[in-house]
Chain A
Amino acid sequence: MVFLVLANKAAYLLDPPSKRLLSYALRHSDISLNRGIRGVHHSGSKPWVDVFKVRNARRTIVDTRESLIPQSRRLKHQSTMENCSPTPNGVLSKAAAFSLPSDLDSLSLSTFDNLVTKGEIIYEPSTSETVEDQGFKVSEVNGTFSITRMLWGR
């Protein structure tokens, strides 16, 4: 887990390291860069952020230690860290760093159905057929299957 701590005012998750994420963090902080971000890199197994010429910042720290996160921010990130688990090489799972609803499957379906009912989502059940490129229609997907010669065959 990698966090960027800026002037003791904000901690941002940089997992995976991303120039765009760093830009976002800086936009929402009270510091600015006068020469931008040089890069976000992996060095061995430890990602690091290469920032230079930071203005108006009392300190800029990039570290992998969770202890650097201020308490208030630690609470903010807690839910994102709960699901992390070490991988065999000791690096925390990066995909697990996002906090998503645990019932995403049912939430997706119920919200979808609700919006379809309201007419806000444009959806109608569709029919399909599987075709080959040698002149046969192979299947009709409406419960039964058949094979029919087509006129467009080659």
Chain B
Amino acid sequence: MKTNRLHVFQVNIRLAPHLRRKPITPSDAPERKTGQGRNPFLNPDPNFVLSPVGPLHLLLLNKFCVYRPSLLLITKHFEQQSDDLDSGDIAAAWAVLKQYRQRYMLIYNCGFESGSSQGHKHMQLWEYPDEEELGFELFPNKADSEVDVASDIPHVPLKHFVLRLPPNADASTVFASYEKLVREVRRCHAEADGGRAYNVILVKEWMCLIPRRHSGLDRGAGANAAAVVGLVWITGQVERDIWTIPGPAEYFRHLGIPA
């Protein structure tokens, strides 16, 4: 884009009024602990299922979509959305990302405060956004090391931890990177607020983890992993004001841990 304002914090705000219909399981709902009750992922509609991914995961279409298409990678059996990803989750995620010919991105909202709407473990995927159209590059792209965690990318207002992934990385390599980043998130939370929630954003080239303090619902505008790398979804003007009146950077500092 046209502005070359590389040193200014930018976000893309997408108006998607139909997301008002998306249910959000409350943080204290028993479904988040047991998987019982209203759990759309325990026996998903077979019409939505695209493929099993190994013995433990299913790839299916999301019911409430911002992008065409939007996908879910869920565990077949109930596991809590507040759990870390394990090596099987990462292997399934990596297999799916590698299988798409188009460049896809995958997110995982770990814990209620990270913006997860359901308590059953699920990851989400969609095509990587066109950065020309956005007018800016997602900030994790600026990380340059596969070894040293990037945690001070300029002008990012909240704590973040990013590793590049080597070309032809396999699932073990990706999982090792994830574990390294989770340790940084744990350390960051311990120093800040003792929380546990965080977002994961994974593409073939990098992985980014962002510790979270608030879901945003406490102020009326929820935010998931996409939002905290600059892809904000809103349902109307009220939510837009929540983001823009204090300024996106200020809202980011509320959602995460100020950098």
Contact = CB atoms under 8 A, between A and B. Distances in A.
Interface of A: 12-13, 15-21, 24, 42, 87, 91, 93-98, 100-101, 104-105, 107-109, 111-113, 115-116, 120-134, 138-139, 141, 145, 147, 150, 152-154
Nearest to A135: B247
B43 interface: no
B149 interface: no
Interface in B211-236: 233
Contact of A145 (B15, B135, B233): B135
Interface of B: 1-3, 5, 8-18, 21-22, 45, 47-48, 50-51, 53-56, 59, 61-66, 68-71, 86-88, 91-92, 94-96, 98-102, 133-136, 157, 168, 170-172, 175, 233, 241, 244-250
A132 B135 CA distance: 11
B18 A101 contact: no
With most chain B CB atoms within 10 A of its CB, the pick from A16, A21, A128 is: A128
B99 A104 contact: yes
A152 B237 CA distance: 13
Contact of A16 (B1, B3, B91, B250): B91
Contacts of B171: 16, 94-95
Given A98-B92, A134-B8, A138-B1, 5 more contacts: A105-B101, A130-B134, A145-B2, A145-B135, A154-B247
A108 B13 contact: no
A97 B50 CA distance: 18
Contacts of A93: 170
With most chain A CB atoms within 10 A of its CB, the pick from B62, B86, B91 is: B91
A153 B250 CA distance: 12
11 contacts: A16-B171, A95-B95, A100-B53, A104-B99, A109-B68, A122-B63, A123-B64, A123-B68, A131-B13, A134-B8, A150-B244
Contacts of A153: 247
B56 A95 contact: no
Contacts of A112: 61, 65, 68-70
Nearest to B173: A94
Contact of A139 (B1, B15, B55, B65): B1
Q: Which 9 A-B pairs have the closest CB atoms?
A: A112-B69, A98-B95, A128-B14, A94-B171, A123-B65, A18-B88, A133-B249, A126-B16, A95-B94
Contact of A128 (B12, B98, B102, B172): B12
Contacts of A16: 87-88, 91, 171-172, 175
A1 B44 CA distance: 31
A140 to B, nearest CB: 10
B245 A100 contact: no
Nearest to B98: A95
A10 B27 CA distance: 40
